[in-house]
Amino acid sequence: MEIFETLKTLCALPAVSGFEPKAAETVADMLRPYCSEVSVDVHGNVLARKSCGKPDAPTILLDAHLDQIGFLVTDVLEGGFLRFAPVGGVDPRMLLAGEVTILAEELLFGVVSCLPPHLLKAGEQDNAVPVDEMLIDTGLLNAKEKITIGTPIVFAGEPVRLAGDCVSGKSLDDRAGIAAILSAMERLAGEKSLRCDVAVLISAQEEVTGLGAATGTFAVQPSFAIAVDVSHAKTPDAPAEGVFEYGGGPLIGVGPNLHRGLTTAIQKTAKAEDIHYQTEVMEGNTGTNAWTMQIVAHGVATALLSIPLRYMHTPIEAIRLSDLTDTADLIYQFVRKFDGEVGA
């Protein structure tokens, strides 16, 4: 698997929260070479399984979310302008002059319009424009014939290579996590002596409700789960706390709602296999699918791996490929020897 090409394929899939099913079919096809069972459920979750062939074997679930932040059309105005509302945590400061794709029956393109500085009143350039006051300019004179209210919108563009092994683009939250799981499953497909069943959940609606993680985990009923997501990487202007080394390896979450025994076992694997990792202290609800999966049914022993990412929830999210491949390697090395025995 060429990881950058995999990222390009994944990041090109439009999947605003609640609109995942078409993208889910593509991801399902990407998983089929490595899993014996693959399906897409009614919510747009991808569910897959690789059985170890042993009776009563424990199941470990690997999760990453498919959905991305985006927008919905709320009004179609004369002159090809659209009003829109955000879906997920969108920061209005970075929208003006942005490029978007409108997911109508025919893909359409637009730009978030903005007044040039020459037309602003004194002091206005220092104020963020509320999203409900912004417009998307499509240039269409017949926009009402092509675009309906409720049509989803995503950021335009595809991942680009920066210097070294850095990649920037939209939806790396959490297509990077999906790529890590795909890479790990490719390697696990060749393992003949697994001691646990491996399930994969590529989940819907993490950015808004957590619905996919809840329903998908309930369908699988695993004993153990690992959520694979992203967390904040350091930049010169970032706060001192809550950010992590870019290129420092995956973050292993530690906190009260993450299973201590499973977390410790993953840390031991990283040390034994000489995989660089960082520790992220989580004070409670992690803000990821780890929390949602943990409380399903009778409860699931859950751990969290995160890939350091810059500029979260923007069209220029950035990761280092080494962090992604180290995450994939840690998943593979842990799962291939896992037998379900962990401490409390």
Q: Which residue has the tokens 């990487």?
A: 233
pTM: 0.94
311 secondary structure, DSSP code: S
pLDDT digits (tens, 9 = 90+) for 263-295: 999 999 999 999 999 999 988 776 899 999 999
What's the pLDDT at 66?
Answer: 97
pLDDT digits (tens, 9 = 90+) for 53-102: 899 899 999 999 999 999 999 999 999 999 999 999 888 888 888 999 99
**Cα–Cα dist 327/254, whole Å:** 16
Determine how β-strand 59-65 pairs with β-strand 224-232.
Answer: parallel
Any residues with CB less than 8 A from the CB of 312 and at least 6 apart, and which? 173, 230, 232
Residue 254 has pLDDT above 80, yes or no: yes
Determine the average pLDDT of the residues in 111-121. Answer: 65
pLDDT tier for residue 118 given thresholds of 50, 70 and 90: very low
Residue 120 has pLDDT above 70, yes or no: no
Residue 115 has pLDDT above 60, yes or no: no
What's the pLDDT at 344?
Answer: 64
**Cα–Cα dist 286/228, whole Å:** 12
Active site residue 280: no
The tokens for 66 are 């498919």
Sign of the Cα pseudo-torsion (328, 178, 286, 242, in order): positive
Q: Which of 11, 278, 317, 322 is nearest to 164 (CA)?
A: 322
Q: Which of 177, 205, 165, 189 is nearest to 327 (CA)?
A: 177
Determine the average pLDDT of the residues in 183-195. Answer: 93
Q: Which of 234, 184, 158 is nearest to 64 (CA)?
A: 184
Determine the average pLDDT of the residues in 224-232. Answer: 97
Residue 117 has pLDDT above 60, yes or no: no
Mean pLDDT score across all residues of the chain: 92
User: How would you label 238-248 residue by residue, b for 16+ Cβ within 10 Å and e otherwise?
Assistant: eeeeebbebbb
Q: Which of 5, 37, 206, 273 is catalytic?
A: 206
244 contacts 280 by C-beta, under 8 angstroms:
yes
